Each structure stands twice: as structure tokens, then as C-alpha cells.
């Protein structure tokens, strides 16, 4: 298995890495974007735009509309600050925003926790199959569902 290794950021280091990545992409790091990212990073399982809007509203002391959150999340996904978990219809902060690669997520059917793993050989095989079918610029979305170790032991 060809694993991809990188520095995982947490807390303030994660926010700073996200800010630097967004600025390097030619975008602005506004107060709203900072707050949305910090709220997103506080979730351990995929969060919906509504979950994020509720938490951001509490943090900012005024209502944050979900449609504003969706626009910011779209920007975050496009600039690799966040990953969309398709099967959960939610988002997770990318703990290594400056690193471009395909992520594989394992989602627990019981508690909803999403575990991120890297396997470049698996995602590379998907890219190869897509290329053989005539597709270009494919970003594999690979998700598996099951029961996490914590839930199996609990």
C-alpha cells in the first residue's frame, strides 16, 4: 500500500495553515471565513452547513445564514481547506490544507465519525481507470462505511 505522509495540523496551527493556503490561492481570509473554518475544524464528524451556521451564529453573536456558509464551504473545498463527505452530506476541515492529494474516508455507521486515510495507490488506480475511460482531471471520492473500533469495543 502506498501511503501518503504529511504534517497534520491542529488548533491554531491548523487555522494558520488554512489562512496561508487561502491567501496563496489569491483569496482573502476574512473574519467570517476564519470563524467558519474554526467552527468546521471543531467538528470530529462531518458537519452540515446548517450545523456550521448554528455554531458560527453563536460564536459571532448574530445569525449566519446557511447559504453564506455553503458559499464559503465551496471555496474551502476548491482551495483544499475542507473535504466534502458525500455519503454524509457534510464537510470536514482538511488537517493538511497545503497538501494536494486524494483523501479516502471511512465513516462509522454508528457514531458518524469520519476517519481520513491516505492511499495513493488506491486513488491512483481510480484515476487510471478514469483516464482509460477518456476522463481527465478526475478527483476520486472514495468513502467506506462500517463500524469504527470505538463503537465495536463499546
pLDDT at 140: 80
Indicate the DSSP class of residue 96: S
Q: Quote the number of domains for the chain.
A: 2
Q: Are both 135 and 112 inside the same structural domain?
A: yes
Q: What are the two backbone dihedrals, phi and then psi, of residue 56, each rounded to the nearest 5 degrees?
A: -65, -35
pLDDT at 119: 81
Q: Are both 75 and 127 inside the same structural domain?
A: no
Residues 100, 103, 109, CA angle at the centre, nearest 5°?
155
The size of the chain, in residues, is 154
pLDDT at 124: 85
Sheet bearing 142-146, strands edge to edge:
114-117, 104-108, 142-146
Q: Are both 73 and 132 inside the same structural domain?
A: no
C-alpha cell at 128: 487510471
Q: Over its length of 154 residues, how does the chain's per-residue pLDDT go in tens digits?
A: 444 444 454 568 889 999 999 999 999 999 999 999 999 999 988 999 999 999 999 999 999 999 999 999 999 999 989 999 988 889 999 887 766 667 788 999 999 888 888 788 888 888 899 999 999 888 787 889 999 999 999 7
Q: Are both 71 and 127 inside the same structural domain?
A: no
Q: Are both 33 and 78 inside the same structural domain?
A: yes
Neighbouring C-alpha atoms within 13 Å toward the C-beta of 40: 29
Does residue 131 fall inside a structural domain? yes
Q: Are both 21 and 46 inside the same structural domain?
A: yes
Q: Are both 120 and 77 inside the same structural domain?
A: no
Q: Are both 58 and 130 inside the same structural domain?
A: no
Q: Are both 43 and 74 inside the same structural domain?
A: yes
Q: Which domain holds residue 119?
A: 104-153
Q: Are both 131 and 74 inside the same structural domain?
A: no
The last residue of one of the domains, among 65, 93, 121, is 93
pLDDT at 8: 52
Amino acid at each position: 500500500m502506498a501511503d501518503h505522509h504529511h504534517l497534520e495540523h491542529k488548533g491554531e496551527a491548523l487555522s494558520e495553515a488554512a489562512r496561508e493556503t487561502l491567501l496563496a490561492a489569491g483569496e482573502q481570509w476574512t473574519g467570517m471565513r476564519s470563524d467558519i473554518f474554526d467552527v468546521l475544524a471543531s467538528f470530529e464528524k462531518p458537519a452540515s452547513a446548517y450545523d456550521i451556521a448554528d455554531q458560527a451564529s453563536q460564536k459571532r453573536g448574530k445569525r449566519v445564514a446557511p447559504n453564506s456558509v455553503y458559499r464559503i464551504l465551496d471555496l474551502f473545498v476548491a482551495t483544499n481547506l475542507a473535504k466534502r463527505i458525500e455519503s454524509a452530506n457534510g464537510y470536514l476541515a482538511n488537517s493538511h490544507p497545503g497538501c494536494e492529494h486524494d483523501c479516502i474516508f471511512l465513516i462509522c455507521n454508528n457514531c458518524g465519525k469520519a476517519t481520513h486515510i491516505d492511499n495513493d495507490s488506491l486513488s491512483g488506480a481510480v484515476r487510471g481507470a478514469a483516464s482509460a475511460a477518456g476522463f481527465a482531471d478526475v478527483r476520486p471520492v472514495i468513502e467506506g462505511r462500517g463500524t469504527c473500533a470505538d463503537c465495536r469495543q463499546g
